[in-house]
Structures are given as structure tokens and as C-alpha cells.
Structure 1
Amino acid sequence: MKNIILNILLGLTLMCNFSCTSDLETSPLVELSLEELLSQDPNAVEGIVSRLYASFALSGVEGPDKSDISDNAGESPFLRGIVNLQDFTADGMKNRWGDDGLDQLTTTSDWDENNKFFRYLFNRIYFTIPQCNNLLAVIGNIDVENKESVIAEVRFLRALAYYYLIDTFGKGVLATEENFGNSSPLPESSRAELFAFTETELIEVEADLPATNSYGRASKAAGQMLLAKLYMNADVYVGTSRYDDALVMINKVINDGGYSLAQDFVSNFSGDNHTSTEIIFPLIADANDSQSYGNTTYIVNGSLSTETMTPADFGATDGWTGHRASKGWYGLFGDLGTSTDVRASLFWTTGHNYEMDDYREWTDGYPSTKFRNSNFNSGSTATAFSSTDFPLFRLADAYLMYAECVLRGASGGDANTALQYVNNVRTRSNADTITQTQLTLDFIIDERGRELNLEGHRRSDLIRFGMFTGGSYVWPWKGNSASGASIPDTYKLFPIPLAALQANPNLTQNPGF
């Protein structure tokens, strides 16, 4: 059973006093302060922690049409922001709705501080961080079972929010339990300062995170995986390569985490993927108990349409006619008709064109059926909302990260092991194995696309490989050109939203915006 506790959260919100974005709703829905609530009912900690986990996937705890913050409930959830900013800005996925703001992400063009989708993610980050700070500020005075483990989980969730801030906006303010409730605008913190804080947090909580945890909650391996992600991108974030350190963390995940590749690739993205042996840390979805337009419902329904498909075949009652892959993704497999790779079969080609001459035309490009709401291991009934969990971290990613570290010269790695890990990933999908000479960085970035696209990694991967900006690598609609065009290096970061700049005069805009 999926371990997400929502019933005890209804009517409860955490108090949030943070000067960053002026439009966040911070008033509690109950009269009690958090400290008063916990003094009366220490068991409420379990519900509050679950509510913090839910902040990454849901718009709020009162249903899909209600939001914790004043942003649009359907458009603004954290996971939806990750997909929008990581996948639609990159080479593999495009959206056709023509929404102002989303168009600019899909075409990597005309980015500015007024784009609501930048504001949504920034606001979600700075909603989650203060909520964590609030609990951390008072939990020391409360008698709670497994207190150190709970504190470690909350610090992990805060670090996860900071990771996305570091990756997408590159700076912000450093809010902790030490300055929680400060009425004065906090000073701006650089990317390096945020990186150092997040690194320290993850190092410190590693010992207290449980080796195993309830499904949907952070284990030691989840913390190690997040720290490995931070180190993998350290050259981008702070100008210093940390692949040696990344490899240390990845080895821990692989060797000590107890995870194994799921036997079938598709099972990781189906309605019953909570049974997967591979998923290290999921963001939970449930068609009955955690409905959201911003969890995997956005991916599943958004990739389906009654025009050329039957949504019920994939466990959905509706298709939103929105998302298609481009040849920047399915082109990585060569001829889809002859490929034996299971991953190559997960594109809907009937009635669709290979070329995306018009990204607003539904039939240009192939919808991805990688994520589906139907069960893999048993029968299921189509539902309006998705029950498919989002695998934020999984073992196949760790295998490919290991190989990349070895190719980048990380100490302590082994070339034969790297090759075996990559071939394990490929064999699982019935793809041909490769030889040592074929294992190159160029191969790795392509394999990461084949394996991980639509899982919130692609933009960061392309930046790390020097392929996102400039014109040496282009894809359909990059730079608002059907054939692809160069984009400036300033696009490695998103602009700080205008609302945040207005709310905190200490914040400054990123260069180029």
C-alpha cells in the first residue's frame, strides 16, 4: 500500500513566514501554531512529514483544484514544473498547447522574468523550504519517535528543494530554521553558497537516514543519490569537477542500497510501479487519495489524445492532446520499425509524422507512451487521475552515472564494471550490448536520453555535456526554429521571476535577462 498520509492532513497547513515571493499564501488554516499543535498531539508529526513529501507532487491537500499557494492549482505543482523546465526545454519533448510561457519553454526562446512557469517552480521551492524550516525549528522540543530519522528526512526534502533551486535559477536566499520567521528580506546567496549548504546537509543526514524506509519516503540511498547528482553537476554549478565524490556516493547506492533493475522497463512507469525493485525514491500518485493535475497525471493524460489514440488503452479516461516526443528522442533509436529495443516501441506512430514541422500540430511528432496509468502486473480500470508514481531516482540512472564518472576519469572506478552496468541497462530493454570501445561520453548522453527522457533530467544532462546552449547541437524547435538554432549561454539558467525580485530587493536578476 502506498504510504502517503493525506486524511489526517485535511484542514491542516504549516505556518509559513518567509519574505521572498509576495504572492504566497502563508496563513494557517487552523488557529494553532505548529508548536502548539505538536505539543497537543506529537503524532501529528507523521502527517506533517507526509505533507512535506506531498508538496513535491500535489497542488495542495484539499484536492486537485485547490492550491497551497495562490498560483494556478493545475499548472503550478512542483513535479509539473520539473517536467516543464527540464524536459520541454530540452531536445526530446515538446508541448503543443500554445500557452503563453509554455510556448517559450518548448521553443527555448524569449525567456523573461514574467514567464509564469518560472514563477511557479520558484514559488514551489520557496513554499517547501519554509515548511521544512518550520518543523525543524520546533521538533527539537517535541518528544517524537525516531526523532533523528525524522529530522534527517525533513532536511533531505529541504535539500531536494534547494537542489532544484541551484540547478534551475542558480541563486536565491538561504532560508533555514535559524532565520525562520525573519520579517526582513534575507540576503541573496550565490550558487556556490547554496551548493555548500546543500552538500553539508546531505553529508550530515546520511548517517541518520534509514537504510530502508516506508515506500515513498527517503532512505539512505535517496540521500546518497541526491548528493551524487549534486556532485555530477558541480563543474556546472561551482566550476569544480567532483566526479570522484559522485562515484563514492553512486557506489554506495549500487552496492548497499539493495536495489535491482526491474525485469521489465515498462513496469517502472505503470500504475503498479510501487512494486518495482528499481525505484529508489518516488513521488507518489494515487487516483483516489492524491489526485493532482501536476503529478504523473500531467505526463500520462498530456501524452494521450482521442484524435489518434485510445486513452483507455493506457489506463486514462481522457487525453489532453498535448505532449509529443521529437526526433531528438526517438531519433536516438534509429529505425523504430526494426529496432529490438523495448524503449523504441514506446512511441505512438500511427497517424503521426516523424518530422515536427509545426510543434503546435498534434500529429507532428510521436506521443510517448512510456508513462501509463494501466497496471503492468494485473488488470486495472481507467481512471481520470494517475496512480503511477514518478521515479525521481532509480537504479538505471545510477548505473549510467557510474559509467559517466569512469569515462570522466573519476578515481576508484572500473571500466569493465562501467561497461557491465551500461549493458545491464540495455539488455533489460532487449537492446544490443556494446563493447568497451563503443562506451564513450557521446554514447552515454545518448543512452541517458533513451533511458531517462521524460524523467526530469534531460536539460541538466545536456548542460553538463556542453550541448544545451550554442549551435553545435540543435534539435527541433530549439531557438524557435523548426530545424533548430543556437541559443545563448545565458539560457543555462532561468530568469529570477519578477514577483521574487519585487518582494525581495536583495535579489538580483541573472545575466542576460
Structure 2
Amino acid sequence: MKNYFNYILIVLISLVTFGCTDDLNTKPLVELSLEELLERDPDAVVGILSRLYASFALSGPDGPGSSDISDDAGESPFLRGIVNLQDFTADGMKNRWGDDGLDQLTTTSDWTSNNKFFRYLYNRAYYTIPQCNNLLNVLTSVDVTNEEAVNAEVRFLRALAYYYIIDVFGKGVLVTENEVGISTPLPEASRTELFNFVESELLAIEPALPARGEISDYYGRATNTAAQMLLSKLYMNAEVYTGTARYDDAAIYVNKVLNEGGYMLASDFRMNFSADNNTSPEIIFPLIADAVISQSFGNTTYIVNGSLSTETMSPNDFGSTEGWTGHRATSAWYGLYCGGVENSDQLTNCDDIRSQLFWIGKDLGTDPDTMEPIDLHSFNMLDYREWTDGYPSTKFRNTNFNGTSTSTSFSGTDFPLFRLADAYLMYAELAIRGAANTSNSEALNYVNLVRNRSNASSITSSQLTEDFIINERARELNLEGHRRSDLIRFNKFTGGSYIWPWKGGTVNGTSISDDYKVFPIPATALQANPNLTQNPGY
């Protein structure tokens, strides 16, 4: 299904061209209207759907140099924005390129409404949302196969885009299919209003989406389990988003994921992040990549190539022909494994498979004074712009887990936006927080399933605490677009209770203002819509 779905995307591009849009202009610019296309060929809805799915991973319709929006095709894709804003702003990963805007993300400091990386994600979301609205509007007047399920898929994608607006910016504009064609500025919608809309949409469509296995070759498309995962995440963060905790509701849908989804952990952690990860039984909802058909600088190519360098590594070992010398992990991530000591042996001799997915550099011999091995990369990140300060993460790679593969310049590794191990750890967190219909004994079982899969030792019930869970989420899920949100939910992102390297722009980290729990509304959005107001502190 992975290659077929992308093939349909290419066929569609020859028929329909979506125009760039924002929250004030929801009418698409098309060579052939969606209604005309579907009247001629109702089966074309599959291709139109693929175009909407692709908006989360690709930059545009004509290859990696094209863009759906009037932003840089390489820098602005949706997934790249998720990684930049969720992972580089947090503790585990840093970028060294020194780009204006990206520097401020990686040091969690000096955020302003003119930062282009905030604009990129805002624009991407408000490109996808109106395009979903356009299709929903057309579906009311044409006949297509499985119309209820198609309608549910489109609404899921719209809800997903709105979820990131809620999480990242805290407010925005609520535009639905009812506003298609309206050009006057729409009113500002609060975080709670957007939350309520996304909640109502997901509750409505969850029964209409197919279960895994009901439709063959459904990989890469939204199932009812994907909707349950998104609902669970919405409820998990409800106290942050609305001020009212909804952990009991989160447990309802996490239990559905675990008991009804039919997913199982991959036998090896690394299977989920290899080029053939479409064979993993664990991935609930991926953003699809293909090294030939759907090339992008913004899907996992950004993660794989950005974490490689010819200076200290061989990109071909990880399935790539390029190394961009960009991303490294900090000790706040790899220091969580096997004691966290400043010694490369901590990683290379640790039984936890996840600890071995960092590149410490080739052995340069032994220090004659300490008799310790000398490595190219340093444990501590004294200079975030120095490539050899910190360890590159090799968690994502463009090689097959099973069988041989050929190195390519673009990645073919899918991005696992939702996977089962996350649901296990979500359940454990909910149990610790006392959510109804959870138990500490089941939570302990789920946590140990996740740990034992990677050869990490089992823990006891006394070790199952909030601090353990936030650290285990880092060990298991870092670089998967969750970390900033997790830290905020645990009250560890702002303030000074938890400090990491380069937090607040200092080498050892410092306290930051609570204003940083949301990003500033981009200046361009404020200029386009006078009804929008800026977030406090910016």
C-alpha cells in the first residue's frame, strides 16, 4: 500500500493543482475543480485523499523542490516542523547549523513572532485544514464509494492539523467546510474552543473509521485506532490545554487502543525506524516516505541525513548517500541509560539496545593518563554548534531491518507518528495519575514489555513513578515528535525544576519563562487577520 498510495498521488497531481492558502483564503486554486474531477471519476477520491495525507510529510506536488505554500520547500514541510518544534526545543536533540530561527529553537531562547520556523508550521496547518474543508464540502454533492469512511478520514486529517495548532500555538482560527469561500477575517478561537471542536470531531468519526484489517492494504491511512490515539493524546494533555484534567477519558481510549487495535510490539525496537518499517506490527499511524516516488527534504530524510556526517561517520552505513552534519543528541537523552556516567562504555556496553543507537565516534586509542578510550564525539555538549560535541542519534536509518538495501539520497523510512509502545507508556502514566479503569499491576506489565523488548531490565512496582515514566518516554520515544509536549505535561519544560544543556541559551541550562509553553503567533498571521491576538510574553 505504501508505494501504491504514493503512485495515486502522482496521478492526481496531473489532474488537480491545489493552491497555497491561509486561514483567510479557503478557496483552492485548481485547474480542474474537485467537484468536476469526482463527477468524472469518483474513484479519484483515493488520489485526493493521498494528497491530503502527503501534506504532513511532503513539501509540494512536483518533488522536493516544490512547495504547497509560499515558504522554503526544504525547510517548511509539516513533519520537519514537528521535529523542530517538539524535539529541538526540548532536552534530547540539538541542531548545530546556526540558522537564524533554528538557533533560537535549539537553545529554547529569544523566541519571537518573526521566527520563520513558527510561521512554517502555522502555514502548513492552515494549508491542510482548508484543503480538507474543500473536499468535505464537495463530498456533500457527489457520490463516491465508502463515502462515510472517506468523510471520516478527511476529518481525521483536519483534526490532526488542528491538534498541532492547539499544542503549539494554543489558539488560532476555527475554519470548517461551512466557511469555504469566505474571504473576510474569521474570529480568533481559543485553545478550549479548538479543543472542543477536535474532541467532537474525533468522537464522531472514530466509529466510522475502519479497524485495522477490515480493509486490505490500509497501511498509512487513518484507522479507528489512529483516532483513538489522537483522542488519548488530546485528553492526556487536556489539563494543559483547557485547565481541566481528563485522564479518565484518556484511559477509555488508551484501553481501546490496547484491547481492540490488534497491534503488537515489534520483536526488535530498531524495526520501527528502518526503511522497511512498514512491516512492523507496532506502527498505528505512519507518515509515509519513499526514496524515489515521494522525495522530500522534510520527511525522515531530515532526521536521517541531518544526523549523519562524513566528518566522523559513513552515511552509507545508515542507508544514505549524504550527511548534513546537523543534529546531535545531548547527555539529557543518552545520559538516561545504564547509569548516565560520562563514559562511552556506558553506551557501548549497556544491554539496552536503545542506548546503542548513538554514534560516539571511532576509537582513537587510549588516553595515557586516564587509560580511558578516546572518542571523536564528546559526552558533554559544551558548544551546540560543534559537530563533535554530543552524540548523533542513529535511531532512524534508511537501511532495511530485514534483508539488504541500497543507499539513497532521500529516505524511504516512514515516520511512526503513533505506535503501540507509546500507548503502553501512556497507560502507565495514567495509572500513576490514578485514572479510572487502569491498574498499577497492568501498568508495570506494559512498561516491562517495552523495556524487555530492548533488553533493558525489568523494574519493580516501587520504581514506577512519574519521574521514571517521563524518563522512560525519553528513552523510548525521543525524536518522535512528543518530547516538548511531554515535558510541559509533567511541568518540566519551563521554570528551573528541570534543566538541560542549552536550555535558555546557556551551556548548562537555565530557567525559562512559563510563556514558552506556547509559541508566539507568527507575525504574518497577525498581519493577515486583525482578529488574532499575540500570546502573552511575545
TM > 0.5: yes
Alpha-carbon distance in structure 1 between the residues aligned to 2:9 and 2:65: 16
Which residue of 1 is the match for residue 29 of structure 2?
Answer: 28
Aligned to 2:66, what secondary structure does the other structure show?
Answer: coil
Alpha-carbon distance in structure 1 between the residues aligned to 2:82 and 2:194: 19
Q: Structure 1 residue 336: deviation in Å?
A: 1.8
Residue 336 in 1 paired to residue 314 in 2?
Answer: no
Q: Structure 1 residue 14: deviation in Å?
A: 5.7
Which residue of 1 is the match for residue 370 of structure 2?
Answer: none
Residues 290-301 of structure 1: pairs in structure 2 closer than 5 A: 290-301=294-305
Aligned to 1:299, what secondary structure does the other structure show?
Answer: helix
Q: Structure 1 residue 20: deviation in Å?
A: 3.0
Aligned to 2:137, what secondary structure does the other structure show?
Answer: helix
Q: Structure 1 residue 13: deviation in Å?
A: 4.2
Which residue of 2 is the match for residue 180 of structure 1?
Answer: 180
Match of 1:46, as an amino acid? V
Contact 2:9 2:48 in 1 (8 A): no
> Among 497, 504, 516, which residue is 1:472 paired with?
497
| Number of positions where the alignment pairs a residue of Structure 1 with one of Structure 2 | 510
Q: Structure 1 residue 482: deviation in Å?
A: 0.3
Aligned to 1:6, what secondary structure does the other structure show?
Answer: helix
Residue 66 in 1 paired to residue 66 in 2?
Answer: yes
> Among 6, 10, 14, which residue is 1:7 paired with?
10
Q: Structure 1 residue 10: deviation in Å?
A: 2.1
Match of 2:11, as an amino acid? I
Residue 347 in 1 paired to residue 358 in 2?
Answer: yes
Q: Deviations over 1:434-463 (max 9, x none)?
A: 000000010000000000000000000000
Structure 1 residues 29 and 143, CA gap change in structure 2 (3 angstroms)? closer
Q: Deviations over 1:8-29 (max 9, x none)?
A: 122344656965378x9x7635
Match of 1:209, as an amino acid? L
Which residue of 2 is the match for residue 211 of structure 1?
Answer: 211
> Among 187, 200, 225, which residue is 1:221 paired with?
225
Which residue of 1 is the match for residue 367 of structure 2?
Answer: none
Q: Structure 1 residue 6: deviation in Å?
A: 2.0
Aligned to 1:87, what secondary structure does the other structure show?
Answer: helix
Contact 1:195 1:237 in 2 (8 A): yes
Alpha-carbon distance in structure 2 between the residues aligned to 1:197 and 1:164: 13
Q: Deviations over 1:252-282 (max 9, x none)?
A: 0011001000000001000000000000000
Q: Structure 1 residue 43: deviation in Å?
A: 1.7
Alpha-carbon distance in structure 2 between the residues aligned to 1:304 and 1:486: 31
Residues 78-117 of structure 1: pairs in structure 2 closer than 5 A: 78-117=78-117
Residues 37-48 of structure 1: pairs in structure 2 closer than 5 A: 37-48=37-48
Q: Deviations over 1:396-418 (max 9, x none)?
A: 00000000000001011111110
Contact 2:95 2:106 in 1 (8 A): yes
Alpha-carbon distance in structure 1 between the residues aligned to 2:52 and 2:502: 37
Alpha-carbon distance in structure 1 between the residues aligned to 2:471 and 2:306: 25
Q: Deviations over 1:363-384 (max 9, x none)?
A: 0000000000000001000000
Which residue of 1 is the match for residue 420 of structure 2?
Answer: 395
Residue 366 in 1 paired to residue 377 in 2?
Answer: no
Aligned to 2:416, what secondary structure does the other structure show?
Answer: strand
Alpha-carbon distance in structure 1 between the residues aligned to 2:28 and 2:433: 49
Which residue of 2 is the match for residue 189 of structure 1?
Answer: 189
Aligned to 1:332, what secondary structure does the other structure show?
Answer: coil
Contact 2:19 2:68 in 1 (8 A): no
Instruction: Give the unaligned 5+ runs of structure 1.
Output: none
Match of 2:13, as an amino acid? L
Aligned to 1:402, what secondary structure does the other structure show?
Answer: helix
Match of 1:28, as an amino acid? L
> Among 256, 262, 269, which residue is 1:265 paired with?
269
Alpha-carbon distance in structure 2 between the residues aligned to 1:285 and 1:190: 34
Aligned to 2:178, what secondary structure does the other structure show?
Answer: coil
Structure 1 residues 447 and 19, CA gap change in structure 2 (3 angstroms)? closer
Aligned to 2:150, what secondary structure does the other structure show?
Answer: helix
Residue 325 in 1 paired to residue 329 in 2?
Answer: yes
Q: Structure 1 residue 7: deviation in Å?
A: 2.1
Alpha-carbon distance in structure 2 between the residues aligned to 1:33 and 1:210: 28
> Among 304, 310, 318, which residue is 1:306 paired with?
310
Which residue of 1 is the match for residue 126 of structure 2?
Answer: 126
Match of 2:23, as an amino acid? C
Residue 384 in 1 paired to residue 387 in 2?
Answer: no
Contact 2:20 2:69 in 1 (8 A): no
Residues 487-502 of structure 1: pairs in structure 2 closer than 5 A: 487-502=512-527
Q: Structure 1 residue 42: deviation in Å?
A: 1.4
> Among 274, 281, 292, which residue is 1:277 paired with?
281
Which residue of 2 is the match for residue 50 of structure 1?
Answer: 50
TM-score (norm 2): 0.93
Aligned to 2:457, what secondary structure does the other structure show?
Answer: coil
Q: Percent same amino acid among aligned pairs?
A: 70
Structure 1 stretch displaced more, 211-220 or 246-255:
211-220
Contact 1:12 1:28 in 2 (8 A): no
Instruction: Give the unaligned 5+ runs of structure 2.
Output: 341-345, 362-375
Structure 1 residues 13 and 165, CA gap change in structure 2 (3 angstroms)? farther
Aligned to 2:284, what secondary structure does the other structure show?
Answer: strand
